[in-house]
Structure 1
Amino acid sequence: MPADTNGNGDIFGGWVMAQVDLAGSVIPARYVNGRMATVAVNEFIFKQPVRVGDILSFYGSVTRIGRTSITVQVEVFAERFRAQGRFVKVTEASLTYVAIDDQGRPRPIEKRD
């Protein structure tokens, strides 16, 4: 929306980062079975600007599962408002989430079959 734009009329990078964090947390939530927290943004690359009217699609995949943490790669594609049917990668990121207990301390992730 226009309220989320910078002086150039592009969407704020911070808004995109927040959406990437939300999208990236969906996959680890299936493994963690409880509370988790984002502990690291390992890499974040803005490849193209996101413009008002773009439709964004977020794709995530697990790249590593540790004892208490899960690392996820997220790719973001924009379908341009003025060029529907054309998709361009606008952002890619790597984030690490850690399973936490009720006191906020790391806890082991249960192994899945």
Structure 2
Amino acid sequence: MPADPRLTSAMLVGALRRRVTAAGGFATILVKGDEISGVILVQTLEKGLESGLFERVPNLDGGYALMRCGPAPTEGLEAMAQYIARRRRSDPDLWIIELDIPEAERFAVETIC
């Protein structure tokens, strides 16, 4: 039996970028990963201030969820940069997209999960 069709990582990231831009925010693809099935990290900001890092992960229902990952924003930019560098070394297929818009996490959940 064939697997259920699913959107590629590139399609999901592209849709998220377009949706945030259309709502007046900024979305930047920081790292392009594997076009088909790369893991997606979403770095969220509001008015340039770091608000979190989230990863799209499979859930028990067969769908996806957005889970907070990495250091807390209060730990500083250096801690975030080190975490991202470690993740990129261990997973070269990783996507990283930065969103600067109010309620960035909501945009990500509604679009890629």
Query: TM-score normalised to the size of structure 1?
Result: 0.30
TM-score if structure 2 supplies the norm length? Answer: 0.30
Structure in which a larger fraction of residues adopt helix: 2
